[in-house]
Amino acid sequence: MNVLNEALSTEQERLGSATRATRLIFLVSGIGMASWAPMVPYAKARLGLDDAGLGLVLLAFGGGSMLSMPLVGLLTHRYGNRNVISVAGLLLCVAIPLLAIVPNVLTLTVTLLYFGAMLGAVDVAMNAHAVEVERRDGRALMSEFHGLFSIGGLAGAAIMSALLALGLPLWAGALAISLALALIVLSQRSSLLSCVDDAADRAAVFRLPRGLVLLLGALCFVSFLAEGSVLDWSAVLLRDFRGFSAASAGIGYACFSVAMAAGRLAGDRVVGRLGSVWTVRVGASIAAVGFLLAAMTPWPPVSLFGFVLIGLGASNIVPVMFSAAGRLPGNPPAISIATVTTLGYAGLLSGPALIGFLAHASNLPVALAVVAGMLVLVAASARIVRR
């Protein structure tokens, strides 16, 4: 009996360490991704890019992630999530300072391709790891993990903006963040679970979407596209249209991130009170209003408030969509959720390039107003989550 109790205690300690490590890896991913947001205006100005040119370059970011994602399942199956997270996490840290010093458009494109590939690898592997931690623990933990990703987004944009405001060179701020993230990855490697038992979930990302799964994925695509638009274009909007300096323009993404984190941390209570359909309907409507305020009003405080509304409104759309995908009759939950996740990441990582082309054809505020219209369509389609 004592041996059994000791074994159970050891397993609980191991699971607790794995849960803590998962939280920190989600935090690292959020910080790493958001640290790019304040660097976008610098890259745009340093290389003399217009909106269309920047949008074309940003396509490499999404392209790198989408190219890496189909391979990550095979890598985690063979080498385990721990190894994929560790290696990709460290390689991600290498990319951050490189983005601050690239001298021309070609090297920026290649670096963004590499940055996107490593970020996509970390995201897929950490979500697979989170599923296994949640399964072993027996409690719902995914919303908390994603909330920490949002907190990381806040921290990444805010810390980088603060370092730049203090007069630190762009490359030095990027290097400081990179070193801190690398230390976290290295310190948590031994606490990560070595593998995920259920290979079927990872293989499911290769299945073609169909039926209601495809519709849910399309709605997730829009929601993730809205998040990606804020990541890549909020600083440009505030600098070019609202009079913010390049050093402080990252505050828009910081406002969005803190609102997103707060919304996710309170998400379970919101869904319990409003229900799934109204959570999506109200959330998408609030996010649409936020985009209109941020893009179409000339007053800087109102624009910042718009980014807060975007974060609050969009925070619980994707978790509800994932839950609905897992409940679809006649579809294995793992296949449905993997398909919806893949389509969502496609919107997050490749959608902002579309904003660049729209901005070139008109202007950036009008392009962001188009995203508001897409979110209205999500609100109108909210009843699908009930099915």
Six token digits for residue 16: 């607790």
Q: How far apart are CA 312 and CA 321, in angstroms?
A: 16
**Taking a C-beta distance cutoff of 8 angstroms, is the pair 24, 155 a contact?**
no
CA atoms within 13 A on the CB side of 365: 14
Q: What torsion do the CA atoms of 150, 43, 234, 54 make, to the nearest 10 degrees?
A: -110
Report pTM: 0.73
List alpha helices for the chain, DSSP H: 2-34, 40-46, 51-79, 81-101, 105-137, 142-165, 170-188, 199-203, 211-241, 251-265, 267-274, 276-296, 300-314, 317-327, 333-361, 364-380
Q: Is 162 helix (H, G, I), strand (E, B) or coil?
A: helix
Q: How far apart are CA 288 and CA 368, in angstroms?
A: 10
Q: What pLDDT, on a 0 to 100 scale, did the predictor assign at position 200? A: 45
Q: Could you please state the CATH topology (level 3) that the domain comprising 2-386 is classified under.
A: Growth Hormone; Chain: A; (1.20.1250)
Helix axes 142-165, 2-34, angle to 10 degrees: 40
Q: What pLDDT, on a 0 to 100 scale, did the predictor assign at position 203? A: 46
Q: Is 284 helix (H, G, I), strand (E, B) or coil?
A: helix
Scan for tokens 């989408």, then name that residue: 66
Six token digits for residue 222: 């829009």
Q: What pLDDT, on a 0 to 100 scale, did the predictor assign at position 57? A: 86
Q: How far apart are CA 24 and CA 70, in angstroms?
A: 24
CB atoms within 10 A of CB 187: 11
**Residues sharing a CB contact under 8 Å with residue 64, sequence separation 6 or more, in sequence order:** 112, 113, 114, 115, 116, 117, 118, 119, 120
Six token digits for residue 96: 């951050």
Q: How far apart are CA 73 and CA 78, in angstroms?
A: 9
Taking alpha carbons only, the member of 164, 189, 190 closest to residue 177 is: 164
Burial of residue 142 (number of CB atoms within 10 Å: 0-12, 13-18, 19+): middle
Q: Which portions of the chain are predicted below pLDDT 50?
A: 196-209
Q: How far apart are CA 313 and CA 91, in angstroms?
A: 33
**Taking a C-beta distance cutoff of 8 angstroms, is the pair 226, 371 a contact?**
yes
Q: What pLDDT, on a 0 to 100 scale, did the predictor assign at position 162? A: 87
Domain residue ranges of the chain, discontinuous segments joined by +: 2-386
Q: What pLDDT, on a 0 to 100 scale, did the predictor assign at position 6? A: 56
Evaluated on CA atoms 153, 158, 163, 165, the torsion sign reads positive
